[in-house]
Amino acid sequence: MGLIVHKYGGTSVGTIERIMKVADRIIQYKEAGHDMVVVVSAMGKSTDVLVDMAKQISPYPSEREMDMLLATGEQVSIALLAMALHQKGYDAISLTGWQAGVTTESIHGKARITHIETERIRKELARGRVVIVAGFQGVSEAGEITTLGRGGSDTSAVALAASLNADKCEIFTDVAGVYTADPRVVPTASKLDSISYDEMLELANLGAGVLHPRSVEAAKTHKVRLVVRSSFTTEEGTYVEEVAHMETGRVVSGVAHDEDVAKVTVVGMPARVGTLSRLFNTLADHQVNVDIIIQSSYDAAVTNISFTVAGSDLKKTLDTLNAHRDHLGFEKVEYEEGLSKVSIVGAGMVHNPGVAAEMFRVLAEQEITIKMVSTSDIKVSCVIPAEHTERAVRSLHTAYGLDVAETAVVHGV
């Protein structure tokens, strides 16, 4: 017996029937004597519907009003799940992010949690209730509703688990755990029994959608016992832990991909000390996240700097650069859309030379152009044309011996 935090994604609560099944699962834990805090995402694709409605009114709606709009999706889910538990004879209460004491930065759309005041939740647990919290949202010190970015319900769950000193945080999704690749792209991907925080963080940052990167970061920082498992089966999931017991001889743990990538090149910047600092501080001040960076010089006086951003951030990036052209002193900006990033990840790469060379060989055999490369001790990433993404992922998955005979099952698609 103990305190357990559950998180259910949009697919898991996508219909009333599924909400009732989630209620049944929660009841099983409650009957076993556990205190339960449940974090829920918006139903199915309802967030996408809200975004589409906003875009029909304005192509660039106010970030504050978007947070006001998108936060309503989770309120629907938490209320319906509380009603389902009531109907089955169990006491439950739904709480929005601000009611649950989740305080964030004063940034709209991508706020980070600063702290959680758990007094309200603890009082409700003491009354024997299941506490259902709206994921993805919080409130700033100024009293403004904020959202944590897409996938932020994972972060909400881990942050709550850390603040409440929970025994375990279980993330329920439409797959049975963490796979060696997206099962939707590679049907022969295998489920991992365990994976290290560092490997999971790399996979999440590189496009693996099963966990939000900030949730993994928080879990590692606060040593939260994290499990990823299916909401549609009782199968054991994947444990994310400090040191994973990976299969002997497996150098690469997984292949990840991100199809929302754009390349930006700032041409003709002054080649002097402070140029990089000035450029990237300007972008950071406007909430632009930069990934791969390459600097090239063809003239002693000037330098070209290329970097990648999320495709969805391309317009903001270009607008920011053009607005600060005089301050930065560049000649022009070039950009390329329609790109993706394909990455291999594995703690075993540290002690095995030639892993990157094998990746380049496989992509060359597939006649796939590599635009940019980034490496670390446990990952290699290549930026390629987006139309070759699936072929690249499947070829790499096979080349590193990750295929299995059986087909992975993905629910809710």
Which tokens go with 296?
Answer: 């090239």
Which tokens go with 282?
Answer: 């300007």
Q: Is 74 annotated as a binding residue?
A: yes
Q: Is 354 annotated as a binding residue?
A: no
Q: Is 348 annotated as a binding residue?
A: no
Q: How many CA atoms lie within 13 A of 146 on its CB side?
A: 24
Q: Is 234 annotated as a binding residue?
A: no
Helix (H) or strand (E) holding 325: helix 325-328
Rounded distance between C-alpha atoms, residue 189 and residue 170, angstroms: 22
Rounded to the nearest angstrom, the gap between the alpha carbon of residue 121 and the centroid of all alpha carbons in its chain is: 26
Q: Is 44 annotated as a binding residue?
A: no
Query: What is the pairing mode between strands 102-104 and 113-116?
Result: antiparallel
Is 165 in a helix, a strand, or coil? coil
Q: Which amino acid would we find at residue 317?
A: T
Q: Is 48 annotated as a binding residue?
A: no
Q: Which amino acid would we find at residue 374?
A: S
Q: Is 223 annotated as a binding residue?
A: no
**Strand segments (E) across 286-357:** 293-296, 302-310, 332-345
Which tokens go with 251?
Answer: 């150098």
Q: Is 149 annotated as a binding residue?
A: no
Closest listed residue to residue 130, CA positions, set 165, 101, 97, 95: 95
Rounded distance between C-alpha atoms, residue 370 and residue 146, angstroms: 38
- Order across the sheet with 145-147: list the strands: 113-116, 102-104, 137-140, 145-147
Q: How many CA atoms lie within 13 A of 276 on its CB side?
A: 9
- Return binding residues for ATP: 7-10, 173-174, 179, 184
Q: Which residues are annotated as a binding site?
A: 7-10, 47, 74, 173-174, 179, 184
Residues annotated within the binding site for substrate are 47, 74
